[in-house]
Amino acid sequence: MDMMEFLRTRRTYRRFDGRPVPPEVLTEAVDAARMASCGANRQTVRYIIVQSPAAVAAVQPLVHWAAYLPKEQGTPKPGEQPTAFIAVLQDERRPGASDVDVGLALGSLTAAWAHGVGSCIMGAIDRPALTELLAVPEGMHLCYMVALGYPTHESRVVEMRDGDVKYYLDADGNYCVPKRGMDEVLIKTV
Ligand SMILES: Cc1cc2nc3c(=O)[nH]c(=O)nc-3n(C[C@H](O)[C@H](O)[C@H](O)COP(=O)(O)O)c2cc1C
């Protein structure tokens, strides 16, 4: 897959086929995130892999899906749910904790798409409950969860109409994700 094809198809996925993501793919995703660029090379981001069926099941009710869609469309039903999560944490005991660094790490985690593993970065999460469930160590802050699995739907970038950023499903249940055009985002070349 060439770079643009990879980036075009590395979208957010929210329905999966139930096959477990191999542990080595999950650890490789964390390894990729570990090598992400970060401010002053401080490396304050930490991870918890959630892969046991019992732990994954316990996480499911604590994450919230697709705010732009009705629940029956956007929330995966039993049998469609992700089979792994990666929790992304900031070690706040170290100086230089940075949201930018977390963002770059998230971007590297979602490169699991190179193995056909789709993902959803999740900020709408029950942080207190997940912090307790995952026994997040003292001094660390849970920033995001990333849901992972083998997608059963497609997701494609579509032209934005009237500045509407809301994604929607087509007649086949595939995601359509409006992105601003190059004419809008590229202000100029000097
Ligand atoms: C910081 C961040 C938080 C997000 N939180 C959620 C979330 O809680 N639930 C969800 O279903 N999707 C979440 N998403 C996925 C976005 O909705 C998705 O990235 C956006 O609609 C664009 O789709 P795309 O990733 O396919 O380009 C989040 C994405 C990011 C980057």
Q: What is the phi/psi pair of residue 130, to 5°?
A: -70, -35
Entry pTM? 0.98
Tens digit of each residue's pLDDT (9 = 90 or more) over 127-162: 999 999 999 999 999 999 999 999 999 999 999 999
CA atoms of 62 and 173, how far apart (whole Å): 24
| Residue 179 counted as domain residue | no
What is the pLDDT, as a whole number, of residue 1? 79
- Give the range of the structural domain holding residue 127, as residue numbers without chain letter: 3-153
| Residue 83 counted as domain residue | yes
Mean pLDDT of 93-108: 95
The enclosing domain of 135 has a CATH number of: 3.40.109.10
Number of domains in the chain: 1
Between the CA of 54 and the centroid of ligand 1 the distance, in Å, is 25
Ligand 1 site residues (CB inside 6 A) read 11-12, 14, 64-66, 120-124, 155, 167, 177
CA atoms of 167 and 185, how far apart (whole Å): 19
| Residue 187 counted as domain residue | no
Between the CA of 12 and the centroid of ligand 1 the distance, in Å, is 7
| Residue 67 counted as domain residue | yes
| Residue 10 counted as domain residue | yes
